[in-house]
Copies of this chain bind each other. A is one copy, B any other.
Amino acid sequence: MAALDQCYARRVLPDWVFDEDDRRWMEIALAEAEAAADRGEIPVGAVVVGNGAIIGRAGNRRRELVDPTAHAEVLAIRQAAATTGDFRLNGCTLYVTLEPCPMCIATCRQSRLDLVIWGADDPKAGACGSVVDLAEDRRLGPPLAHRGGLEAPASRQLLKLFFAERR
């Protein structure tokens, strides 16, 4: 029970709390992560869902685009804003295979997303509770809801494989 309490405190939830839709969108985010690995990029993928449809999807392209901001989340959010013609994404949900870093979670708040669902936790740079908590810091306005742990083993496996091949 202590371990489960700790999970909840860090918003890493057991897989069964997510529903079939969540799982379907995360599978697509995982496919984006896999495609990123094939391009030689750290395998992280993201999908923005609005009104039950994908309005943005991307994998990490930092090296390819020579752009320090080209994390999967940022690219998917920019695409979603272009798709909807509105830079505010109220009502939308972001699915991402890895706990967002500070830049990405701050971008999620800038874009007024309703919810972020993430996969594996990131003990090195995670900004949803692992290293800092920027999602729920009320000094920065209304807190951003988020849930972690969906398909975490699949996400972690992709990252492990990627780094194992390179070290």
Residues of chain A having any CB pair with chain B under 8 Å: 62-63, 66-70, 74, 77-78, 81-82, 85-89, 101-103, 106-107, 109-112, 125, 131-132, 134, 137, 139-140
Contact = CB atoms under 8 A, between A and B. Distances in A.
If over half of A's interface residues share one DSSP class (helix, strand or loop), that class is named, otherwise mixed; here it is: loop
Contacts of A66: 81-82, 85-87
Contacts of A89: 68
Nearest to A104: B106
A3 to B, nearest CB: 23
B102 A69 contact: no
Nearest to A125: B140
A139 B123 CA distance: 11
